[in-house]
Structure 1
Amino acid sequence: MPGPDADADADADAYDATPFVPERGGLDALRKAAARCEGCPLFREATQTVFGKGRRSARVVLLGEQPGDQEDRRGEPFVGPAGHLLMRACSEAEIDPAETYVTNAVKHFKFVLSEERGKRRIHKPPTLRELAACRPWLSAELRLVEPELIVALGATAGKALYGSGFRVTQARGAVLDPPDELQALDAKGVVATIHPAAVLRAGENREEVYAGLVSDLRVAAAALSRS
Protein backbone atom coordinates (compact mmCIF):
# COMPACT_ATOMS: atom_id res chain seq x y z
CA MET A 1 0.00 0.00 0.00
CA PRO A 2 1.45 3.41 -0.89
CA GLY A 3 1.78 6.15 1.65
CA PRO A 4 -0.93 8.82 1.83
CA ASP A 5 -1.22 11.56 -0.75
CA ALA A 6 -2.70 14.72 0.69
CA ASP A 7 -3.66 16.14 -2.69
CA ALA A 8 -6.05 13.24 -3.23
CA ASP A 9 -7.89 13.72 0.05
CA ALA A 10 -11.23 15.49 -0.19
CA ASP A 11 -10.75 17.09 3.22
CA ALA A 12 -7.39 18.64 2.35
CA ASP A 13 -8.59 22.18 3.01
CA ALA A 14 -9.27 21.17 6.63
CA TYR A 15 -5.70 20.06 7.36
CA ASP A 16 -4.58 21.90 10.49
CA ALA A 17 -2.60 20.82 13.55
CA THR A 18 -3.69 23.86 15.60
CA PRO A 19 -6.30 21.98 17.71
CA PHE A 20 -3.59 19.56 18.88
CA VAL A 21 -1.02 22.19 19.95
CA PRO A 22 -1.19 22.96 23.70
CA GLU A 23 -1.56 26.60 24.65
CA ARG A 24 1.04 26.36 27.42
CA GLY A 25 3.93 24.17 28.52
CA GLY A 26 7.48 23.62 27.34
CA LEU A 27 9.05 21.43 24.70
CA ASP A 28 8.20 18.25 26.59
CA ALA A 29 4.53 19.22 26.61
CA LEU A 30 4.67 19.93 22.88
CA ARG A 31 6.40 16.62 22.19
CA LYS A 32 3.79 14.63 24.12
CA ALA A 33 0.92 16.44 22.42
CA ALA A 34 2.47 16.00 18.98
CA ALA A 35 2.51 12.24 19.48
CA ARG A 36 -1.29 12.38 19.22
CA CYS A 37 -1.49 14.77 16.28
CA GLU A 38 -3.99 13.94 13.53
CA GLY A 39 -3.83 17.33 11.82
CA CYS A 40 -3.33 15.77 8.38
CA PRO A 41 -3.56 12.22 6.99
CA LEU A 42 0.18 11.52 7.22
CA PHE A 43 -0.23 10.13 10.74
CA ARG A 44 -2.17 7.17 9.34
CA GLU A 45 0.80 5.49 7.66
CA ALA A 46 3.74 6.80 9.66
CA THR A 47 5.07 4.75 12.57
CA GLN A 48 5.04 7.72 14.92
CA THR A 49 5.42 11.47 15.21
CA VAL A 50 9.03 12.59 14.98
CA PHE A 51 9.34 15.78 17.00
CA GLY A 52 12.33 18.10 17.31
CA LYS A 53 15.30 17.37 19.55
CA GLY A 54 17.82 19.57 21.31
CA ARG A 55 18.29 22.03 24.13
CA ARG A 56 15.72 24.67 25.00
CA SER A 57 18.57 27.21 24.92
CA ALA A 58 19.98 26.17 21.52
CA ARG A 59 21.37 29.05 19.50
CA VAL A 60 20.59 27.48 16.13
CA VAL A 61 17.57 25.63 14.78
CA LEU A 62 18.43 23.22 11.96
CA LEU A 63 15.20 22.83 9.99
CA GLY A 64 14.76 19.93 7.59
CA GLU A 65 11.87 18.71 5.47
CA GLN A 66 10.42 15.62 7.13
CA PRO A 67 11.59 12.46 8.91
CA GLY A 68 13.09 9.68 6.81
CA ASP A 69 12.66 5.94 7.17
CA GLN A 70 15.14 5.54 10.03
CA GLU A 71 13.82 8.62 11.83
CA ASP A 72 10.27 7.30 11.54
CA ARG A 73 11.27 3.97 13.08
CA ARG A 74 13.38 5.48 15.88
CA GLY A 75 11.26 8.55 16.65
CA GLU A 76 14.13 11.06 16.49
CA PRO A 77 15.09 13.56 13.79
CA PHE A 78 18.30 13.33 11.75
CA VAL A 79 19.55 10.00 13.10
CA GLY A 80 20.23 8.44 9.68
CA PRO A 81 23.16 8.97 7.29
CA ALA A 82 22.04 12.49 6.35
CA GLY A 83 21.89 13.47 10.00
CA HIS A 84 25.38 12.17 10.73
CA LEU A 85 26.69 14.05 7.70
CA LEU A 86 24.95 17.23 8.86
CA MET A 87 26.54 17.07 12.31
CA ARG A 88 29.97 16.56 10.72
CA ALA A 89 29.39 19.55 8.44
CA CYS A 90 28.31 21.69 11.40
CA SER A 91 31.46 20.79 13.32
CA GLU A 92 33.61 21.58 10.29
CA ALA A 93 31.87 24.94 9.93
CA GLU A 94 32.49 25.61 13.65
CA ILE A 95 28.87 25.31 14.71
CA ASP A 96 28.75 23.26 17.89
CA PRO A 97 26.20 20.46 17.38
CA ALA A 98 25.38 20.74 21.09
CA GLU A 99 24.16 24.30 20.43
CA THR A 100 21.62 23.17 17.83
CA TYR A 101 17.98 22.16 17.93
CA VAL A 102 17.05 19.87 15.04
CA THR A 103 13.54 19.50 13.71
CA ASN A 104 11.52 19.14 10.52
CA ALA A 105 8.83 21.20 8.85
CA VAL A 106 6.60 18.09 8.76
CA LYS A 107 6.59 15.69 11.70
CA HIS A 108 5.41 12.49 10.00
CA PHE A 109 7.19 10.40 7.35
CA LYS A 110 5.51 10.57 3.93
CA PHE A 111 6.40 7.74 1.58
CA VAL A 112 5.46 5.38 -1.21
CA LEU A 113 6.25 1.69 -1.31
CA SER A 114 8.54 0.64 -4.13
CA GLU A 115 7.78 -2.83 -5.52
CA GLU A 116 10.96 -2.65 -7.60
CA ARG A 117 13.09 -2.07 -4.50
CA GLY A 118 11.78 -4.83 -2.29
CA LYS A 119 8.81 -2.86 -0.97
CA ARG A 120 11.10 -0.27 0.56
CA ARG A 121 9.51 2.91 1.82
CA ILE A 122 10.64 5.70 -0.49
CA HIS A 123 10.49 9.32 0.63
CA LYS A 124 7.82 11.47 -1.01
CA PRO A 125 7.93 15.27 -0.57
CA PRO A 126 5.12 16.82 1.48
CA THR A 127 2.62 19.06 -0.23
CA LEU A 128 2.11 22.72 0.55
CA ARG A 129 -1.11 21.79 2.38
CA GLU A 130 0.80 19.38 4.60
CA LEU A 131 3.45 22.01 5.29
CA ALA A 132 0.74 24.48 6.26
CA ALA A 133 -1.02 21.92 8.44
CA CYS A 134 2.15 21.18 10.41
CA ARG A 135 3.28 24.81 10.66
CA PRO A 136 1.69 25.34 14.13
CA TRP A 137 4.13 22.79 15.59
CA LEU A 138 7.13 24.53 14.05
CA SER A 139 5.90 27.94 15.16
CA ALA A 140 5.48 26.66 18.72
CA GLU A 141 8.97 25.14 18.72
CA LEU A 142 10.57 28.36 17.47
CA ARG A 143 8.73 30.47 20.06
CA LEU A 144 10.06 28.28 22.87
CA VAL A 145 13.63 27.82 21.64
CA GLU A 146 14.00 31.45 20.48
CA PRO A 147 17.02 30.67 18.30
CA GLU A 148 19.51 33.28 17.25
CA LEU A 149 19.52 31.79 13.77
CA ILE A 150 17.55 29.28 11.69
CA VAL A 151 19.23 27.13 9.04
CA ALA A 152 16.73 26.00 6.40
CA LEU A 153 17.94 22.70 4.95
CA GLY A 154 16.57 22.40 1.44
CA ALA A 155 13.75 23.84 -0.62
CA THR A 156 10.89 22.38 1.44
CA ALA A 157 12.22 23.84 4.68
CA GLY A 158 12.54 27.21 2.97
CA LYS A 159 8.98 26.99 1.64
CA ALA A 160 7.74 26.18 5.14
CA LEU A 161 9.15 29.53 6.28
CA TYR A 162 8.70 31.77 3.23
CA GLY A 163 6.01 30.19 1.07
CA SER A 164 5.85 28.46 -2.29
CA GLY A 165 7.96 31.06 -4.11
CA PHE A 166 11.10 30.20 -2.15
CA ARG A 167 14.04 28.88 -4.21
CA VAL A 168 16.99 27.50 -2.28
CA THR A 169 19.29 27.83 -5.31
CA GLN A 170 18.69 31.58 -5.31
CA ALA A 171 18.68 32.17 -1.56
CA ARG A 172 21.40 29.89 -0.20
CA GLY A 173 24.56 31.11 1.47
CA ALA A 174 23.26 34.46 2.74
CA VAL A 175 21.60 35.68 5.92
CA LEU A 176 17.95 36.31 5.03
CA ASP A 177 15.53 38.40 7.02
CA PRO A 178 13.26 36.17 9.09
CA PRO A 179 9.70 35.79 7.79
CA ASP A 180 7.11 38.18 9.22
CA GLU A 181 5.72 35.62 11.65
CA LEU A 182 9.14 35.23 13.29
CA GLN A 183 10.11 38.91 13.52
CA ALA A 184 9.15 39.00 17.19
CA LEU A 185 11.72 36.32 18.02
CA ASP A 186 14.54 38.81 17.48
CA ALA A 187 16.50 36.20 15.52
CA LYS A 188 19.35 37.33 13.31
CA GLY A 189 17.71 35.67 10.35
CA VAL A 190 17.68 32.53 8.25
CA VAL A 191 20.48 30.89 6.30
CA ALA A 192 19.30 28.56 3.53
CA THR A 193 21.34 25.68 2.19
CA ILE A 194 20.85 22.26 0.65
CA HIS A 195 19.50 19.32 2.58
CA PRO A 196 22.35 16.98 3.63
CA ALA A 197 20.59 14.15 1.79
CA ALA A 198 21.51 15.98 -1.43
CA VAL A 199 25.16 15.36 -0.63
CA LEU A 200 24.52 11.63 -0.29
CA ARG A 201 22.82 11.60 -3.70
CA ALA A 202 25.57 13.59 -5.43
CA GLY A 203 27.60 10.61 -6.66
CA GLU A 204 30.95 11.64 -8.12
CA ASN A 205 30.31 15.26 -7.13
CA ARG A 206 29.80 14.44 -3.46
CA GLU A 207 32.92 16.24 -2.20
CA GLU A 208 32.03 19.40 -4.10
CA VAL A 209 28.43 19.39 -2.93
CA TYR A 210 29.53 18.73 0.66
CA ALA A 211 31.97 21.64 0.48
CA GLY A 212 29.07 23.87 -0.59
CA LEU A 213 27.03 22.77 2.42
CA VAL A 214 29.92 23.53 4.77
CA SER A 215 30.45 26.91 3.11
CA ASP A 216 26.80 27.86 3.70
CA LEU A 217 27.01 26.71 7.32
CA ARG A 218 30.08 28.91 7.77
CA VAL A 219 27.90 31.88 6.83
CA ALA A 220 25.62 30.88 9.69
CA ALA A 221 28.61 30.49 12.03
CA ALA A 222 29.88 33.93 11.12
CA ALA A 223 26.48 35.46 11.86
CA LEU A 224 26.48 33.79 15.26
CA SER A 225 29.99 35.04 16.03
CA ARG A 226 28.82 38.63 15.60
CA SER A 227 26.47 38.32 18.57
Structure 2
Amino acid sequence: MVMSDGLNMSSHSSKENLRALLLAGLENAAVCLDDLRFLGLDGVHASPRTLEILSEWGKGGKPGHFPELIKKVASCSHCGLPAAVRGKLLHPPPGSVRVLFVDEMPDRAALREGSAMGGEAGALLWKIVGAMKLNPDAVYVTHTRMCRLSPGQTSPSYASLPCRAFLSDVIRLLRPEVICALGERAGQLLSGENLPLHSLRGRFLSFESLPLMITHHPADMLKDPGLKRDTWEDVRKVMEFLAL
Protein backbone atom coordinates (compact mmCIF):
# COMPACT_ATOMS: atom_id res chain seq x y z
CA MET A 1 0.00 0.00 0.00
CA VAL A 2 1.55 3.29 -1.01
CA MET A 3 1.06 5.76 1.80
CA SER A 4 3.00 8.82 0.73
CA ASP A 5 3.38 11.97 2.78
CA GLY A 6 3.34 13.98 -0.43
CA LEU A 7 -0.34 13.71 -1.30
CA ASN A 8 -1.58 16.63 -3.35
CA MET A 9 -5.21 17.01 -2.32
CA SER A 10 -7.60 19.94 -2.22
CA SER A 11 -8.14 20.85 1.40
CA HIS A 12 -11.84 21.49 1.63
CA SER A 13 -13.45 21.15 -1.80
CA SER A 14 -15.12 17.74 -1.42
CA LYS A 15 -16.33 18.49 2.08
CA GLU A 16 -17.72 21.88 1.11
CA ASN A 17 -19.41 20.46 -2.00
CA LEU A 18 -21.16 17.80 0.07
CA ARG A 19 -22.24 20.36 2.65
CA ALA A 20 -23.60 22.55 -0.13
CA LEU A 21 -25.64 19.64 -1.51
CA LEU A 22 -27.04 18.82 1.92
CA LEU A 23 -27.96 22.45 2.57
CA ALA A 24 -29.61 22.72 -0.86
CA GLY A 25 -31.65 19.60 -0.09
CA LEU A 26 -32.80 21.04 3.23
CA GLU A 27 -33.69 24.34 1.58
CA ASN A 28 -35.77 22.55 -1.07
CA ALA A 29 -37.55 20.55 1.64
CA ALA A 30 -38.34 23.75 3.53
CA VAL A 31 -39.81 25.33 0.39
CA CYS A 32 -42.01 22.25 -0.19
CA LEU A 33 -43.28 22.36 3.38
CA ASP A 34 -44.11 26.06 3.04
CA ASP A 35 -46.04 25.34 -0.16
CA LEU A 36 -48.00 22.54 1.52
CA ARG A 37 -48.80 24.79 4.48
CA PHE A 38 -50.07 27.44 2.07
CA LEU A 39 -52.38 24.80 0.57
CA GLY A 40 -53.84 24.07 3.99
CA LEU A 41 -51.77 21.09 5.17
CA ASP A 42 -51.01 21.53 8.87
CA GLY A 43 -48.79 18.48 9.39
CA VAL A 44 -46.95 15.55 7.84
CA HIS A 45 -46.68 11.91 8.85
CA ALA A 46 -43.46 10.90 10.61
CA SER A 47 -42.43 7.44 11.74
CA PRO A 48 -41.64 6.80 15.42
CA ARG A 49 -37.95 6.49 14.51
CA THR A 50 -38.00 9.88 12.75
CA LEU A 51 -39.64 11.49 15.78
CA GLU A 52 -37.01 9.90 18.01
CA ILE A 53 -34.19 11.32 15.87
CA LEU A 54 -35.80 14.78 15.81
CA SER A 55 -36.21 14.72 19.58
CA GLU A 56 -32.44 14.23 19.93
CA TRP A 57 -31.44 17.16 17.71
CA GLY A 58 -29.54 19.79 19.60
CA LYS A 59 -28.89 17.59 22.64
CA GLY A 60 -25.26 17.08 21.65
CA GLY A 61 -25.06 13.29 22.19
CA LYS A 62 -22.24 13.01 24.75
CA PRO A 63 -20.08 9.93 25.33
CA GLY A 64 -21.52 9.82 28.85
CA HIS A 65 -24.62 8.19 27.37
CA PHE A 66 -22.62 5.15 26.30
CA PRO A 67 -22.99 3.21 29.57
CA GLU A 68 -26.75 3.29 29.07
CA LEU A 69 -26.39 1.99 25.51
CA ILE A 70 -23.99 -0.75 26.63
CA LYS A 71 -26.54 -1.92 29.22
CA LYS A 72 -29.25 -1.83 26.56
CA VAL A 73 -27.24 -4.08 24.23
CA ALA A 74 -26.21 -6.39 27.08
CA SER A 75 -29.86 -6.93 28.00
CA CYS A 76 -30.89 -7.82 24.42
CA SER A 77 -32.04 -11.45 24.10
CA HIS A 78 -33.21 -11.33 20.48
CA CYS A 79 -30.66 -13.87 19.21
CA GLY A 80 -30.66 -16.04 22.32
CA LEU A 81 -26.95 -15.48 22.97
CA PRO A 82 -25.47 -15.90 26.46
CA ALA A 83 -25.36 -12.69 28.48
CA ALA A 84 -21.58 -13.05 28.74
CA VAL A 85 -21.08 -12.24 25.04
CA ARG A 86 -23.63 -9.47 24.50
CA GLY A 87 -22.24 -6.07 23.63
CA LYS A 88 -18.81 -6.80 25.07
CA LEU A 89 -16.98 -4.72 22.46
CA LEU A 90 -18.93 -1.49 22.96
CA HIS A 91 -17.10 1.15 24.97
CA PRO A 92 -17.28 4.92 25.44
CA PRO A 93 -15.06 6.80 22.96
CA PRO A 94 -11.90 8.37 24.42
CA GLY A 95 -12.39 11.56 22.41
CA SER A 96 -14.29 13.29 19.63
CA VAL A 97 -14.75 10.80 16.78
CA ARG A 98 -14.01 11.84 13.20
CA VAL A 99 -14.16 8.44 11.46
CA LEU A 100 -16.44 5.55 12.38
CA PHE A 101 -15.36 2.22 10.88
CA VAL A 102 -18.16 -0.35 10.68
CA ASP A 103 -17.42 -4.07 10.36
CA GLU A 104 -20.13 -6.71 9.88
CA MET A 105 -19.70 -8.80 13.02
CA PRO A 106 -17.04 -9.32 15.71
CA ASP A 107 -14.60 -12.12 14.90
CA ARG A 108 -13.02 -14.56 17.35
CA ALA A 109 -9.82 -12.52 17.58
CA ALA A 110 -11.80 -9.43 18.53
CA LEU A 111 -13.62 -11.25 21.33
CA ARG A 112 -10.40 -12.86 22.53
CA GLU A 113 -8.53 -9.55 22.64
CA GLY A 114 -11.47 -7.45 23.78
CA SER A 115 -11.07 -5.06 20.84
CA ALA A 116 -13.53 -4.21 18.08
CA MET A 117 -11.18 -5.74 15.49
CA GLY A 118 -8.40 -8.05 16.56
CA GLY A 119 -5.56 -10.10 15.13
CA GLU A 120 -3.69 -9.21 11.96
CA ALA A 121 -6.79 -7.54 10.48
CA GLY A 122 -6.96 -5.18 13.44
CA ALA A 123 -3.26 -4.41 13.18
CA LEU A 124 -3.66 -3.56 9.49
CA LEU A 125 -6.65 -1.31 10.19
CA TRP A 126 -4.68 0.69 12.73
CA LYS A 127 -1.77 0.90 10.31
CA ILE A 128 -4.18 2.50 7.82
CA VAL A 129 -5.42 4.88 10.52
CA GLY A 130 -1.82 5.90 11.18
CA ALA A 131 -1.21 6.48 7.47
CA MET A 132 -4.28 8.73 7.45
CA LYS A 133 -2.54 10.82 10.13
CA LEU A 134 -5.55 10.39 12.39
CA ASN A 135 -5.27 10.39 16.15
CA PRO A 136 -6.43 6.91 17.27
CA ASP A 137 -8.75 8.62 19.76
CA ALA A 138 -10.56 10.19 16.79
CA VAL A 139 -11.43 6.74 15.40
CA TYR A 140 -14.08 4.28 16.57
CA VAL A 141 -14.76 0.76 15.33
CA THR A 142 -18.13 -0.96 15.70
CA HIS A 143 -20.28 -3.55 13.92
CA THR A 144 -23.59 -3.88 12.09
CA ARG A 145 -24.22 -6.87 14.39
CA MET A 146 -23.19 -6.10 17.94
CA CYS A 147 -22.55 -9.72 18.97
CA ARG A 148 -20.89 -12.74 17.38
CA LEU A 149 -23.29 -15.59 16.66
CA SER A 150 -22.66 -18.98 18.22
CA PRO A 151 -21.10 -21.66 15.95
CA GLY A 152 -23.77 -23.10 13.66
CA GLN A 153 -26.35 -20.52 14.68
CA THR A 154 -28.58 -19.30 11.85
CA SER A 155 -28.23 -15.58 11.27
CA PRO A 156 -31.54 -13.72 11.67
CA SER A 157 -32.56 -11.21 9.03
CA TYR A 158 -30.76 -7.94 9.69
CA ALA A 159 -33.98 -5.99 9.23
CA SER A 160 -35.44 -7.86 12.20
CA LEU A 161 -32.47 -7.26 14.50
CA PRO A 162 -32.35 -4.64 17.26
CA CYS A 163 -28.73 -4.17 16.10
CA ARG A 164 -29.91 -1.73 13.43
CA ALA A 165 -31.30 0.56 16.11
CA PHE A 166 -28.22 0.02 18.28
CA LEU A 167 -25.98 1.14 15.40
CA SER A 168 -28.12 4.25 14.99
CA ASP A 169 -27.66 4.94 18.70
CA VAL A 170 -23.88 4.58 18.35
CA ILE A 171 -23.88 7.06 15.47
CA ARG A 172 -26.14 9.49 17.35
CA LEU A 173 -23.83 9.44 20.36
CA LEU A 174 -20.57 9.66 18.41
CA ARG A 175 -21.64 12.12 15.70
CA PRO A 176 -18.71 11.11 13.42
CA GLU A 177 -17.80 13.17 10.37
CA VAL A 178 -17.49 10.12 8.11
CA ILE A 179 -18.56 6.47 8.24
CA CYS A 180 -16.39 3.84 6.55
CA ALA A 181 -17.90 0.38 6.01
CA LEU A 182 -15.42 -2.49 5.88
CA GLY A 183 -16.22 -5.29 3.48
CA GLU A 184 -19.02 -6.20 1.12
CA ARG A 185 -21.64 -7.32 3.64
CA ALA A 186 -21.25 -4.31 5.93
CA GLY A 187 -21.37 -2.08 2.85
CA GLN A 188 -24.57 -3.72 1.62
CA LEU A 189 -26.28 -3.40 5.00
CA LEU A 190 -25.39 0.26 5.40
CA SER A 191 -26.03 1.31 1.81
CA GLY A 192 -29.20 -0.75 1.43
CA GLU A 193 -27.86 -1.93 -1.93
CA ASN A 194 -27.43 -5.66 -2.63
CA LEU A 195 -24.50 -5.03 -4.97
CA PRO A 196 -21.00 -6.50 -5.16
CA LEU A 197 -18.29 -4.55 -3.41
CA HIS A 198 -16.72 -3.27 -6.62
CA SER A 199 -20.00 -1.47 -7.37
CA LEU A 200 -20.25 0.03 -3.88
CA ARG A 201 -16.75 1.25 -3.12
CA GLY A 202 -14.85 4.29 -4.30
CA ARG A 203 -17.61 6.89 -3.95
CA PHE A 204 -19.44 8.61 -1.14
CA LEU A 205 -22.89 7.28 -0.32
CA SER A 206 -25.00 8.19 2.70
CA PHE A 207 -26.04 6.48 5.93
CA GLU A 208 -27.94 8.19 8.74
CA SER A 209 -27.47 11.45 6.78
CA LEU A 210 -23.68 11.11 7.06
CA PRO A 211 -21.10 10.50 4.31
CA LEU A 212 -20.48 6.77 3.83
CA MET A 213 -17.41 5.30 2.15
CA ILE A 214 -17.31 1.54 1.54
CA THR A 215 -14.01 -0.25 1.08
CA HIS A 216 -12.29 -3.62 1.44
CA HIS A 217 -12.09 -5.39 4.79
CA PRO A 218 -8.57 -5.66 6.24
CA ALA A 219 -8.96 -9.46 6.42
CA ASP A 220 -9.59 -9.53 2.67
CA MET A 221 -6.53 -7.37 2.07
CA LEU A 222 -4.43 -9.85 4.01
CA LYS A 223 -5.67 -12.64 1.74
CA ASP A 224 -5.18 -10.57 -1.42
CA PRO A 225 -2.60 -7.77 -1.00
CA GLY A 226 -3.58 -6.47 -4.43
CA LEU A 227 -6.71 -5.00 -2.81
CA LYS A 228 -4.60 -2.52 -0.84
CA ARG A 229 -4.29 -0.18 -3.82
CA ASP A 230 -8.07 0.16 -4.18
CA THR A 231 -8.42 0.59 -0.43
CA TRP A 232 -5.87 3.37 -0.37
CA GLU A 233 -7.75 5.17 -3.13
CA ASP A 234 -10.89 5.02 -0.98
CA VAL A 235 -8.98 6.13 2.11
CA ARG A 236 -7.50 9.11 0.26
CA LYS A 237 -11.02 10.30 -0.57
CA VAL A 238 -11.89 10.15 3.12
CA MET A 239 -8.71 12.06 3.93
CA GLU A 240 -9.56 14.70 1.36
CA PHE A 241 -13.04 15.07 2.82
CA LEU A 242 -11.56 15.52 6.29
CA ALA A 243 -8.85 17.87 4.97
CA LEU A 244 -6.09 15.64 6.35
Question: Is the shorter-chain TM-score for this pair beyond 0.5, marking a shared fold?
Answer: yes
Q: Which moved more, 1:74-83 or 1:149-158?
A: 74-83
Task: Please give the TM-score of this superposition, normalised by the length of structure 1.
Answer: 0.69
Cα 1:223–1:131 change in 2 (3 A) is farther
CA deviations on 1:148-183 (whole Å, 9 max, x unpaired) are: 10001112212222225243211212222x23xx12
- Deviation of the 1:58 alpha carbon: 0.4
Is 2:99 the partner of 1:60? Answer: yes
RMSD: 2.8
CA distance in 2, matches of 1:55, 1:149: 17
CA deviations on 1:172-199 (whole Å, 9 max, x unpaired) are: 12222x23xx12xxx3x11110111101
Cα 1:168–1:79 change in 2 (3 A) is same
Higher strand share: 1
- Deviation of the 1:221 alpha carbon: 1.0
- Deviation of the 1:48 alpha carbon: 4.1
Task: Please give the TM-score of this superposition, normalised by the length of structure 2.
Answer: 0.65
For residue 38 of structure 1, the aligned residue among 77, 83, 95 is: 77
Query: Partner letter of residue 68 of structure 2?
Result: A
- Deviation of the 1:213 alpha carbon: 1.9
CA distance in 1, matches of 2:213, 2:154: 21
CA distance in 1, matches of 2:223, 2:84: 24
CA distance in 2, matches of 1:193, 1:97: 19
Partner of 1:110: 149
SS at 1:173 equivalent: coil
SS at 1:139 equivalent: helix
Aligned-residue sequence identity (percent) comes to: 28
For residue 82 of structure 1, the aligned residue among 121, 124, 131 is: 121
Is the Cα contact below 8 Å between 1:95 and 1:221 reproduced in 2? no
* 4+ residue segments displaced more than 4 Å: 124-127
Is 2:223 the partner of 1:201? Answer: yes
**Aligned length, in residue pairs:** 182
Partner of 2:162: 133
- Deviation of the 1:107 alpha carbon: 1.2
Query: Partner letter of residue 138 of structure 2?
Result: E
Cα 1:163–1:46 change in 2 (3 A) is farther
SS at 2:162 equivalent: helix
- Structure 2, unmatched stretches of 5+, are 1-55
- Structure 1, unmatched stretches of 5+, are 1-22, 114-123
SS at 1:191 equivalent: strand
CA deviations on 1:79-123 (whole Å, 9 max, x unpaired) are: 32211110101222333332111101111113537xxxxxxxxxx
Greater Rg over alpha carbons, structure? 2
- Deviation of the 1:138 alpha carbon: 0.3
